[in-house]
């Protein structure tokens, strides 16, 4: 008899504001106030900070940001710089969200969603770089109660990535920082 995957509570993210920078199509709302930045790679530092401040003005605070870097990687890979584009965008958005929305507002969680490893060696390198960024920033920003984690899926079809993202964005996920999660990897 096959067991069913556990279901997350439909109110898991009630009252929480979550930024989806990039598509993050698999992210389940679960009661969250969702904000979207469609093309975060096009943001310079000033625009990213201004957008983060405006988000806080609209909602009062920001509890979590999911920075989906798959589309950024794919677009950059066409120009032979997918890894650099993903890392630069991950840093730029993380820094803007931390400084303009989280430091003075009680902290929060930043989730760096790496491009799936099945996109090739550059995607795997981008995932490794994003995991190192999460580890460094998670340590540096812990004093501001800002947690940073990397989610590095094995493939585009990795199951339960959305559930993992929602859990990390919830109150339950506030106990981890500087970690790398590899959904779809057999251990």
Is residue 74 predicted with pLDDT exceeding 90?
A: no
Torsion of CA 57, 33, 179, 89, to 10 degrees: -60
Mean pLDDT of the chain: 91
Which pLDDT belongs to residue 4? 53
What is the tens place of the pLDDT at every residue in 42-71? 999 999 999 999 999 999 999 999 999 998
DSSP 154: S
Are residues 80 and 71 in contact, defined by beta-carbon separation less than 8 angstroms? no
**Alpha carbon distance, N-terminus to C-terminus of the chain:** 23
With a cut of 50, say whether residue 1 has pLDDT above it: no
Q: Which CATH architecture describes the domain 17-181?
A: 3-Layer(aba) Sandwich (3.40)
Q: How many CB atoms lie within 10 A of CB 130?
A: 29
**Do the Cβ atoms of 123 and 153 come closer than 8 Å?**
no
What's the pLDDT tens digit per position in 123-148? 999 999 999 999 999 999 999 999 99
pLDDT of residue 129: 96
Q: How far apart are CA 113 and CA 99, in angstroms?
A: 20
Does the pLDDT value for residue 3 go beyond 50? no
Domain spans of the chain, in order of start: 17-181
Q: What angle do CA 69, 74, 75 make, to 5 degrees?
A: 100
Question: Residue 34 — pLDDT band, cuts 50, 70, 90?
Answer: very high
The residue-averaged pLDDT of 108-116 equals 96
Put simply, whether the predicted model's pTM sits higher than 0.85 gets the answer yes
């Amino acid at each position: 008899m096959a067991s069913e995957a556990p279901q997350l509570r439909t109110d898991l993210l009630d009252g929480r504001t979550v930024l989806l920078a990039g598509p993050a199509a698999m992210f389940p709302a679960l009661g969250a106030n969702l904000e979207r930045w469609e093309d975060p790679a096009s943001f310079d530092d000033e625009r990213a900070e201004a957008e983060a401040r405006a988000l806080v003005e609209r909602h009062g605070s920001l509890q979590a940001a999911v920075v989906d870097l798959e589309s950024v990687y794919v677009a950059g890979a066409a120009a032979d710089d997918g890894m650099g584009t993903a890392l630069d965008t991950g840093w730029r958005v993380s820094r803007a969200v931390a400084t303009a929305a989280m430091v003075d507002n009680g902290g929060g969680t930043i989730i760096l969603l790496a491009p799936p490893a099945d996109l090739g060696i550059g995607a795997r390198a981008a995932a490794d770089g994003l995991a190192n960024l999460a580890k460094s920033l998670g340590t540096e920003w812990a004093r501001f109660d800002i947690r940073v984690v990397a989610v590095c899926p094995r493939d585009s079809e990795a199951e339960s990535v959305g559930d993992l993202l929602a859990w990390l964005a919830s109150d339950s996920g506030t106990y981890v920082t500087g970690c790398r999660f590899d959904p779809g990897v057999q251990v």
